[in-house]
Amino acid sequence: MNTVELVNLALAGDKEAVAAAFQQTMAAKVTDALEIKKVEIASNLLGTEETSDETTEPTIEVDGSSDGATDTNAEPATEVATNAE
């Protein structure tokens, strides 16, 4: 039973059918969530790692600084003054 059918039963006013449908729907959702968690735990126990598509290279910010590396020999950034009057 899906959520639309559950709502239709609620609108029809059949409290017993709504309660039964709700229990059935929630039991299915809990079972699905448990299956997903079982797979996740099993993969962690077996030591398999999921591969990530993210890049590990540092990104350069607009001001020229990097995201984690600090350069102690770098010169301080200079600000450009504008005369907007």
Whole-angstrom distance, CA of residue 15 vs CA of residue 21 = 10
pLDDT confidence bin for 34, thresholds 50/70/90: very high
pLDDT mean over 44-65: 64
How many CB atoms lie under 10 A from the CB of residue 52?
7
Three state DSSP letters for the chain: CCHHHHHHHHHHCCHHHHHHHHHHHHHHHHHHHHHHHHHHHHHHHCCCCCCCCCCCCCCECCCCCECCCCCCCCCCCCCCCCCCC
pLDDT confidence bin for 46, thresholds 50/70/90: confident
The strand pairing partners of 5, in sequence order, are none
Q: Lowest-confidence range among 43-47, 61-65, 73-77?
A: 73-77
pLDDT mean over 51-73: 58
